[in-house]
Amino acid sequence: MPHPSFRLVAPLAVFAVVAGVPAAAKDKAPPPLPAQIQELYACRDIGDAAARLACFDREVGELKAADQAKEIVFTDKETAKKTRRGLFGFSFPKLGGIFGGDEDEIKEIETTIRSVSMDRSGKYMLVMEDDAVWVQIDTTRLPRQPKPGQKVKIKTATMGSYFATVDGGRTIRMKRDR
């Protein structure tokens, strides 16, 4: 039989570990800067103005060469946001903030239907204006068939699925096909 103090200490230890996990995840260090950027930033520390300028010229030349060779990619926040929106509905591993981090994670989009088709079981396939293809995965029947030009709001649901609402009507469960 366990010692009485063990019965008190064990639950507290488990609680401490579980409570610490979210804090540790939140304090995760950002990914390291690419070597080319670190070397460019290091130029700032050179005291002699001529040597500092020569360092900046050399490192900017290296960045340009890496960019032209497609070894490094530059993007801005707006481009990253558009990329995340275009990938909405696909499951990807966390890529260390490559698209700007999780603080701007997209939970919902609004788009327009370009075409509609229905399979033999009566489930919809919607092709959106951005070429995204969404297929219905539940058996909900809509009172009115979706039509090209209608607005669709798609938001994150559970277990990799999404809820789609066509023109504010009834919600159906969908998944991104391509």
CA-CA distance, 172 to 162, in Å (whole number)? 8
User: pTM of the predicted model, to two decimals?
Assistant: 0.50
Q: Which residues pair with 117 in a beta bridge?
A: 125
Q: Looking at this protein, which amino acid is placed at residue 111? A: T
- Ordered DSSP codes for 52-106: HHHHHHHHHHHHHHHHHTTSS----HHHHHHHHHHTTT------TTTTS-GGG--
pLDDT, position 113: 93
pLDDT single digits (tens) 121-167: 889 999 999 888 999 999 888 888 899 999 999 998 887 788 999 98
CA-CA distance, 71 to 96, in Å (whole number)? 18
Measured between alpha carbons, how far is residue 45 from residues 31, 53, 54, 106, 115 in Å?
22, 11, 13, 39, 58
pLDDT tens for the chain, 178 residues long, are 555 544 444 444 444 444 454 444 455 666 677 788 888 899 999 999 999 999 999 989 988 888 888 888 777 777 777 776 676 666 655 555 555 555 556 788 899 999 999 988 889 999 999 888 999 999 888 888 899 999 999 998 887 788 999 988 889 999 888 8
Place of tokens 């999780």: 102
